[in-house]
């Protein structure tokens, strides 16, 4: 039986109807007249990466500068459903809880885990309730999706304390993963899960000129990507993994593009740091989450999951943009500056 279509939130309507027009308008502006210059590709990026403005089309690699994820690579990544449509991404952090972006919270009906194509296979679970971080547009762009029952997938460990001290720095290797658009203008969508490997630029997000939120800076967000590798619309709420010798830890949740970007996607962006809101997350879930075991760094199984580099703990399943003052309307004043990365995926 098909699911009823959920009414779209005003913010989502604006993103579907207005932002594509803004993107079209941007496409008419000669790129060589824009400034500042895009971030250069790093040596760590695989292959040659086009500069922004070159080959802007469906030939771009997925995530924006990435590639399709291999089966089983990221089973904890969730496709976020709004009725029949997938509009955001998330990540499992407890057996029955998915973490996503605050600007994705309204209208979520279900998630699908353990697949690399949301139209094939996977574990679909209905959402029981969704709790957004208080005043998320001004603070932490986060929301928790509580599921109808626990998933069979192993949750991802959030990078905290010693793991951050050991590995989070300028140039740290990270992987951005999601179900979003795969071109630089945010117009080409598929059903595949995609991944891209890049580096951290601003681990504490202190560069306010690029759109970091001064209300939570430093260490409430981080900046990563650029040089062609980036998240895009539909990747909102998805994971940024800190790639370490002990596996991949959750270090960021996709929020928005940089405020000085010339294109919607490809020049890097801003991710909310879940470690900054760990007290709120654990308070909502009702118990502590596993954390990296500081005494065992470098001795884990490399998974970054619950069995890798965490303190000994058993789970109890819980029963229960640029910052804007009043929601989505003022955000339009910034046009394409610091766009939230909820999907502009056309209805099917």
CA distance 116 to 129: 25
The domain total for the chain is 1
CA distance 308 to 234: 29
Determine the 3-state secondary structure of 331 from DSSP. Answer: helix
- Measuring CA to CA, which residue among 14, 238, 286 is closest to residue 142? 238
Contact 323, 215 (CB under 8 A): yes
In Å, how far from its chain's centre is CA 283? 22
- CA dist 157 → 62, 132, 218, 251 (Å): 25, 20, 22, 9
Q: What is the DSSP letter of 57?
A: S
Other Cβ atoms within 10 Å of 51 Cβ, number: 14
Q: What is the CATH number of the domain that holds 56?
A: 2.40.10.120
Contacts of 212 (CB under 8 A, 6+ apart): 202, 205, 206, 221, 223, 270
Two structure tokens written together for 181: 């658009």
Token pair 């890798």: residue: 308
CA distance 236 to 238: 5
Per-residue pLDDT of the chain (348 residues; tens, 9 = 90+): 444 444 444 444 444 444 444 443 433 333 333 333 333 333 332 233 333 333 333 333 455 677 899 999 999 999 999 999 999 999 999 999 999 999 999 999 999 999 999 999 999 999 999 999 999 999 999 999 999 999 999 999 999 999 999 999 999 999 999 999 999 988 899 999 999 999 999 999 999 999 999 999 999 999 999 999 999 999 999 999 999 988 999 999 999 999 999 998 999 999 999 999 999 999 999 999 999 987 766 555 545 544 443 332 333 322 222 222 333 333 333 333 456 666 655 433
At 154 the pLDDT is 97
For the entire predicted model, the pTM comes to: 0.73
At 56 the pLDDT is 37
E strands, the chain, are 67-68, 77-82, 85-94, 97-100, 110-113, 123-132, 143-147, 173-178, 194-202, 221-224, 239-244, 247-257, 269-272
CA distance 239 to 89: 8
Token pair 């998330």: residue: 90
Two structure tokens written together for 132: 């957004």
- Measuring CA to CA, which residue among 260, 104, 102, 98 is closest to residue 180? 104
* CA angle, 131 then 202 then 325, to 5°: 40
Any idea how long the chain is?
348
- CA dist 109 → 10, 92, 129, 206 (Å): 17, 16, 9, 35
Token pair 């029949």: residue: 84
Bond into 159 cis (ω within 30):
no
- Measuring CA to CA, which residue among 284, 314, 343 is closest to residue 146? 284
Q: Which domain holds residue 6?
A: 1-348
What φ, ψ does residue 296 adopt, rounded to 5°? -115, 15
Q: CA quadruple 58, 31, 213, 331: dihedral positive or negative?
A: negative
At 326 the pLDDT is 30
CA distance 11 to 324: 13
HEC sequence for 177-243: EECCCCCCCCCCCCCECEEEEEEEEECCCCCHHHCCCCCCCCCCEEEECECCECCCCCCCCCEEEEE
At 293 the pLDDT is 83
């Amino acid at each position: 039986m098909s699911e009823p279509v959920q009414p779209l939130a005003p913010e989502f309507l604006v993103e579907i109807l207005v932002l594509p027009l803004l993107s079209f308008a941007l496409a008419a502006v000669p790129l060589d007249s824009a400034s500042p210059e895009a971030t250069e590709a790093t040596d760590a990026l695989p292959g040659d990466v086009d500069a922004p403005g070159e080959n802007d089309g469906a030939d771009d690699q997925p995530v924006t500068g990435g590639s399709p994820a291999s089966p089983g690579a990221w089973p904890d990544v969730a496709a976020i459903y709004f009725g029949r449509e997938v509009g955001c991404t998330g990540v499992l952090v407890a057996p029955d809880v998915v973490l996503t972006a605050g600007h994705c919270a309204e209208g979520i009906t279900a998630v699908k885990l353990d697949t690399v194509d949301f139209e094939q296979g996977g574990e679909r679970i209905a959402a029981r309730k969704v709790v957004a971080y208080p005043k998320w547009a001004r603070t932490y762009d986060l929301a928790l999706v509580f599921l109808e029952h626990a998933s069979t997938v192993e949750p991802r460990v959030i990078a905290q304390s010693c793991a951050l001290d050991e590995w989070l720095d300028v140039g740290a290797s990270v992987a951005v993963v999601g179900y979003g658009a795969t071109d630089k203008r945010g117009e080409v969508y598929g059903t595949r899960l995609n991944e891209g490997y890049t580096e951290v630029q601003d681990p504490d997000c202190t560069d306010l000129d690029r759109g970091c939120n001064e209300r939570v800076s430093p260490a409430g967000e981080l900046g990563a990507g650029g040089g062609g590798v980036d998240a895009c619309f539909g990747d909102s709420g998805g994971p940024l993994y800190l790639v370490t010798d002990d596996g991949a830890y959750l270090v960021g949740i996709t929020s928005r593009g940089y405020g000085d970007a010339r294109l919607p996607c490809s020049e890097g962006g801003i991710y909310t740091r879940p470690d900054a809101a760990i007290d709120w997350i654990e308070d909502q879930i009702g118990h502590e989450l596993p954390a990296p075991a500081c005494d065992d760094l470098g001795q884990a199984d490399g998974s970054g999951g619950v069995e890798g580099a965490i303190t000994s703990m058993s789970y109890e399943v819980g029963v229960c943009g640029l910052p804007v003052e009043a929601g989505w309307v003022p955000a339009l004043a910034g046009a394409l500056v610091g766009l939230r990365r909820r999907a502009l995926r056309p209805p099917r």
